[in-house]
Copies of this chain bind each other. A is one copy, B any other.
Amino acid sequence: MRFLSERRLDDGILEREFTLGDIPGILWTPGTTPAPLVLMSHNNGLPMADPRLQARARYTAAQGYAVATIDAAGCGDRPRSAADEQARTELRRAMRAGEPADEILESVVGPMVENAAPDWRTTLDALLELPETAGPVGYSGGWTALGIRLAVTEPRITAAGFFAGGYVPRAQREEARQVTIPLLYLLQWDDRGNPRQRALDLFDAFGSKEKTLHANLGGHTGTPWFELEDGCRFLDRHLK
Protein backbone atom coordinates (compact mmCIF):
# COMPACT_ATOMS: atom_id res chain seq x y z
CA MET A 1 0.00 0.00 0.00
CA ARG A 2 1.51 3.28 -1.12
CA PHE A 3 0.14 6.65 0.05
CA LEU A 4 0.01 9.30 -2.69
CA SER A 5 -1.41 12.31 -0.86
CA GLU A 6 -2.28 13.45 2.63
CA ARG A 7 -4.77 16.09 3.74
CA ARG A 8 -5.83 17.13 7.24
CA LEU A 9 -9.59 17.82 7.50
CA ASP A 10 -11.81 19.15 10.29
CA ASP A 11 -12.13 17.08 13.47
CA GLY A 12 -8.53 15.91 13.10
CA ILE A 13 -9.40 13.55 10.24
CA LEU A 14 -6.55 12.53 7.96
CA GLU A 15 -7.54 11.84 4.32
CA ARG A 16 -5.03 9.91 2.25
CA GLU A 17 -5.19 8.60 -1.29
CA PHE A 18 -3.40 5.32 -1.81
CA THR A 19 -2.71 2.64 -4.38
CA LEU A 20 -2.42 -1.05 -3.75
CA GLY A 21 -1.11 -2.66 -6.95
CA ASP A 22 -3.56 -1.27 -9.51
CA ILE A 23 -6.30 -0.57 -6.94
CA PRO A 24 -6.76 3.13 -6.14
CA GLY A 25 -8.32 4.02 -2.81
CA ILE A 26 -8.88 6.61 -0.11
CA LEU A 27 -8.39 6.12 3.62
CA TRP A 28 -9.86 8.46 6.24
CA THR A 29 -8.54 8.04 9.78
CA PRO A 30 -9.86 9.82 12.89
CA GLY A 31 -7.81 11.83 15.36
CA THR A 32 -7.51 8.83 17.68
CA THR A 33 -6.14 5.57 16.33
CA PRO A 34 -6.14 2.59 16.19
CA ALA A 35 -9.79 2.68 15.16
CA PRO A 36 -12.27 0.03 13.97
CA LEU A 37 -12.29 -0.21 10.18
CA VAL A 38 -15.30 0.48 7.96
CA LEU A 39 -15.28 -0.52 4.29
CA MET A 40 -17.45 1.99 2.46
CA SER A 41 -18.71 1.20 -1.02
CA HIS A 42 -20.72 3.20 -3.49
CA ASN A 43 -23.70 1.79 -5.34
CA ASN A 44 -22.85 -0.42 -8.32
CA GLY A 45 -19.24 0.61 -8.48
CA LEU A 46 -19.76 4.35 -8.86
CA PRO A 47 -16.48 6.29 -8.55
CA MET A 48 -14.94 6.88 -5.13
CA ALA A 49 -14.57 10.53 -6.18
CA ASP A 50 -18.34 10.99 -5.71
CA PRO A 51 -18.99 13.77 -3.18
CA ARG A 52 -21.89 11.92 -1.50
CA LEU A 53 -19.64 8.94 -0.77
CA GLN A 54 -16.90 11.20 0.53
CA ALA A 55 -19.29 13.12 2.78
CA ARG A 56 -20.51 9.84 4.30
CA ALA A 57 -16.92 8.68 4.78
CA ARG A 58 -15.84 11.90 6.52
CA TYR A 59 -18.84 11.90 8.83
CA THR A 60 -18.17 8.26 9.74
CA ALA A 61 -14.46 8.93 10.35
CA ALA A 62 -15.46 11.81 12.65
CA GLN A 63 -17.36 9.22 14.75
CA GLY A 64 -14.08 7.41 15.41
CA TYR A 65 -13.72 5.00 12.49
CA ALA A 66 -10.99 4.33 9.97
CA VAL A 67 -12.95 4.43 6.70
CA ALA A 68 -11.71 3.13 3.38
CA THR A 69 -13.07 3.06 -0.14
CA ILE A 70 -11.60 1.87 -3.43
CA ASP A 71 -12.34 1.82 -7.11
CA ALA A 72 -12.36 -1.97 -7.53
CA ALA A 73 -11.78 -3.76 -10.85
CA GLY A 74 -14.34 -2.58 -13.40
CA CYS A 75 -15.59 0.22 -11.12
CA GLY A 76 -15.20 3.98 -11.05
CA ASP A 77 -12.60 5.10 -13.57
CA ARG A 78 -10.91 1.70 -13.88
CA PRO A 79 -10.68 0.26 -17.40
CA ARG A 80 -13.52 -1.99 -18.52
CA SER A 81 -13.59 -4.81 -21.05
CA ALA A 82 -15.23 -4.31 -24.44
CA ALA A 83 -17.99 -6.72 -23.33
CA ASP A 84 -18.61 -4.65 -20.17
CA GLU A 85 -18.79 -1.44 -22.18
CA GLN A 86 -21.20 -3.01 -24.63
CA ALA A 87 -23.47 -4.27 -21.83
CA ARG A 88 -23.51 -0.78 -20.30
CA THR A 89 -24.37 0.81 -23.62
CA GLU A 90 -27.22 -1.67 -24.01
CA LEU A 91 -28.38 -0.91 -20.44
CA ARG A 92 -28.50 2.84 -21.09
CA ARG A 93 -30.42 2.25 -24.31
CA ALA A 94 -32.97 -0.02 -22.59
CA MET A 95 -33.48 2.41 -19.71
CA ARG A 96 -33.95 5.36 -22.06
CA ALA A 97 -36.48 3.31 -24.03
CA GLY A 98 -38.28 2.33 -20.79
CA GLU A 99 -37.76 -1.37 -21.57
CA PRO A 100 -37.42 -4.03 -18.84
CA ALA A 101 -33.74 -3.99 -17.86
CA ASP A 102 -33.42 -6.86 -15.37
CA GLU A 103 -31.60 -9.22 -17.72
CA ILE A 104 -29.19 -6.52 -18.85
CA LEU A 105 -28.63 -5.41 -15.25
CA GLU A 106 -27.85 -9.03 -14.43
CA SER A 107 -25.24 -9.10 -17.19
CA VAL A 108 -23.70 -5.80 -16.03
CA VAL A 109 -23.84 -6.06 -12.23
CA GLY A 110 -23.28 -9.82 -11.87
CA PRO A 111 -19.73 -9.83 -13.30
CA MET A 112 -18.98 -6.48 -11.65
CA VAL A 113 -19.58 -8.01 -8.19
CA GLU A 114 -17.50 -11.07 -9.07
CA ASN A 115 -14.59 -8.91 -10.22
CA ALA A 116 -14.79 -6.28 -7.49
CA ALA A 117 -14.95 -8.54 -4.44
CA PRO A 118 -11.34 -9.85 -4.67
CA ASP A 119 -10.01 -6.27 -4.82
CA TRP A 120 -11.93 -5.39 -1.66
CA ARG A 121 -10.55 -8.44 0.14
CA THR A 122 -6.99 -7.61 -0.96
CA THR A 123 -7.54 -4.09 0.33
CA LEU A 124 -8.92 -5.38 3.62
CA ASP A 125 -5.78 -7.50 4.13
CA ALA A 126 -3.56 -4.47 3.57
CA LEU A 127 -5.63 -2.09 5.70
CA LEU A 128 -5.58 -4.42 8.69
CA GLU A 129 -1.74 -4.37 8.53
CA LEU A 130 -1.76 -0.64 9.26
CA PRO A 131 -1.22 0.52 12.86
CA GLU A 132 -4.18 2.93 12.41
CA THR A 133 -6.76 0.09 12.23
CA ALA A 134 -7.80 -2.44 14.84
CA GLY A 135 -10.61 -4.65 15.96
CA PRO A 136 -13.74 -5.68 14.14
CA VAL A 137 -14.55 -4.58 10.58
CA GLY A 138 -17.81 -3.10 9.32
CA TYR A 139 -19.22 -2.66 5.83
CA SER A 140 -21.24 0.37 4.87
CA GLY A 141 -22.57 0.33 1.36
CA GLY A 142 -24.07 1.85 -1.07
CA TRP A 143 -23.49 -1.36 -2.87
CA THR A 144 -25.62 -4.11 -1.32
CA ALA A 145 -24.73 -6.86 -3.82
CA LEU A 146 -21.01 -6.42 -3.14
CA GLY A 147 -21.73 -6.30 0.59
CA ILE A 148 -23.59 -9.60 0.46
CA ARG A 149 -20.69 -11.25 -1.36
CA LEU A 150 -18.18 -9.86 1.16
CA ALA A 151 -20.36 -10.72 4.16
CA VAL A 152 -20.54 -14.40 3.16
CA THR A 153 -16.88 -14.78 2.14
CA GLU A 154 -15.13 -12.58 4.70
CA PRO A 155 -15.49 -13.58 8.37
CA ARG A 156 -13.62 -10.47 9.51
CA ILE A 157 -16.69 -8.36 8.60
CA THR A 158 -18.94 -8.37 11.68
CA ALA A 159 -21.74 -5.90 10.83
CA ALA A 160 -23.04 -4.28 7.67
CA GLY A 161 -25.21 -1.38 6.58
CA PHE A 162 -26.86 -1.89 3.19
CA PHE A 163 -28.81 0.43 0.89
CA ALA A 164 -31.73 -1.23 -0.91
CA GLY A 165 -31.59 1.01 -3.97
CA GLY A 166 -29.62 -1.02 -6.48
CA TYR A 167 -29.90 -4.14 -8.59
CA VAL A 168 -28.92 -7.28 -6.68
CA PRO A 169 -27.93 -10.12 -9.04
CA ARG A 170 -29.52 -13.55 -8.67
CA ALA A 171 -26.33 -15.02 -7.17
CA GLN A 172 -26.37 -12.47 -4.32
CA ARG A 173 -30.12 -12.84 -3.77
CA GLU A 174 -29.34 -16.52 -3.13
CA GLU A 175 -26.30 -15.71 -0.99
CA ALA A 176 -28.42 -13.37 1.16
CA ARG A 177 -29.69 -16.40 3.10
CA GLN A 178 -26.11 -17.15 4.16
CA VAL A 179 -25.57 -13.67 5.60
CA THR A 180 -25.66 -14.00 9.39
CA ILE A 181 -24.07 -10.79 10.67
CA PRO A 182 -26.16 -7.93 12.13
CA LEU A 183 -27.61 -5.75 9.36
CA LEU A 184 -29.09 -2.29 8.99
CA TYR A 185 -30.96 -2.14 5.69
CA LEU A 186 -31.95 1.24 4.29
CA LEU A 187 -34.87 1.54 1.88
CA GLN A 188 -36.26 4.54 0.02
CA TRP A 189 -40.00 3.90 -0.12
CA ASP A 190 -40.58 5.53 -3.53
CA ASP A 191 -37.40 4.52 -5.37
CA ARG A 192 -38.87 4.09 -8.85
CA GLY A 193 -35.99 2.18 -10.36
CA ASN A 194 -35.95 -0.37 -7.55
CA PRO A 195 -39.18 -2.27 -6.89
CA ARG A 196 -40.23 -1.99 -3.24
CA GLN A 197 -41.47 -5.57 -2.97
CA ARG A 198 -38.16 -6.91 -4.23
CA ALA A 199 -36.33 -4.86 -1.61
CA LEU A 200 -38.64 -6.15 1.15
CA ASP A 201 -38.16 -9.72 -0.10
CA LEU A 202 -34.40 -9.30 0.16
CA PHE A 203 -34.71 -8.00 3.73
CA ASP A 204 -36.82 -11.06 4.49
CA ALA A 205 -34.23 -13.36 2.91
CA PHE A 206 -31.19 -12.31 4.95
CA GLY A 207 -30.22 -15.08 7.36
CA SER A 208 -29.19 -12.65 10.12
CA LYS A 209 -30.89 -12.98 13.51
CA GLU A 210 -30.45 -9.25 14.07
CA LYS A 211 -31.60 -7.21 11.11
CA THR A 212 -33.31 -3.84 11.03
CA LEU A 213 -35.04 -2.14 8.12
CA HIS A 214 -35.22 1.65 7.99
CA ALA A 215 -37.61 2.88 5.30
CA ASN A 216 -38.11 6.54 4.52
CA LEU A 217 -40.48 8.32 2.21
CA GLY A 218 -38.96 9.61 -1.01
CA GLY A 219 -36.98 8.66 -4.08
CA HIS A 220 -33.61 7.03 -4.70
CA THR A 221 -31.42 9.91 -3.56
CA GLY A 222 -33.77 11.22 -0.86
CA THR A 223 -32.37 9.38 2.18
CA PRO A 224 -32.68 11.81 5.12
CA TRP A 225 -29.50 13.01 6.81
CA PHE A 226 -30.41 11.44 10.14
CA GLU A 227 -29.95 7.97 8.64
CA LEU A 228 -26.21 8.67 8.49
CA GLU A 229 -26.28 9.24 12.26
CA ASP A 230 -28.38 6.11 12.77
CA GLY A 231 -25.94 4.15 10.60
CA CYS A 232 -23.00 5.20 12.77
CA ARG A 233 -24.87 4.28 15.95
CA PHE A 234 -25.54 0.86 14.41
CA LEU A 235 -21.79 0.50 13.80
CA ASP A 236 -21.11 1.73 17.36
CA ARG A 237 -23.25 -1.09 18.76
CA HIS A 238 -21.30 -3.73 16.88
CA LEU A 239 -17.76 -2.44 16.37
CA LYS A 240 -16.94 -0.46 19.50
Contacts and interface: CB of A to CB of B under 8 A. Distances in A.
Interface in A195-238: 200, 203-204, 208-217, 224, 226, 229-230, 233, 237
B211 A212 contact: no
Given A213-B213, A214-B214, A230-B230, 6 more contacts: A189-B204, A200-B200, A209-B217, A212-B217, A215-B215, A226-B237
25 contacts: A189-B204, A189-B213, A200-B200, A203-B215, A208-B217, A209-B217, A210-B217, A210-B224, A211-B216, A211-B217, A212-B214, A212-B215, A212-B216, A212-B217, A212-B224, A213-B213, A213-B214, A213-B215, A213-B216, A214-B214, A215-B215, A226-B233, A226-B237, A229-B233, A230-B230
Interface of A: 189, 200, 203-204, 208-217, 224, 226, 229-230, 233, 237
How often does this chain occur in the complex, in copies?
Answer: 2
A230 B184 CA distance: 13
Contacts of A215: 203, 212-213, 215
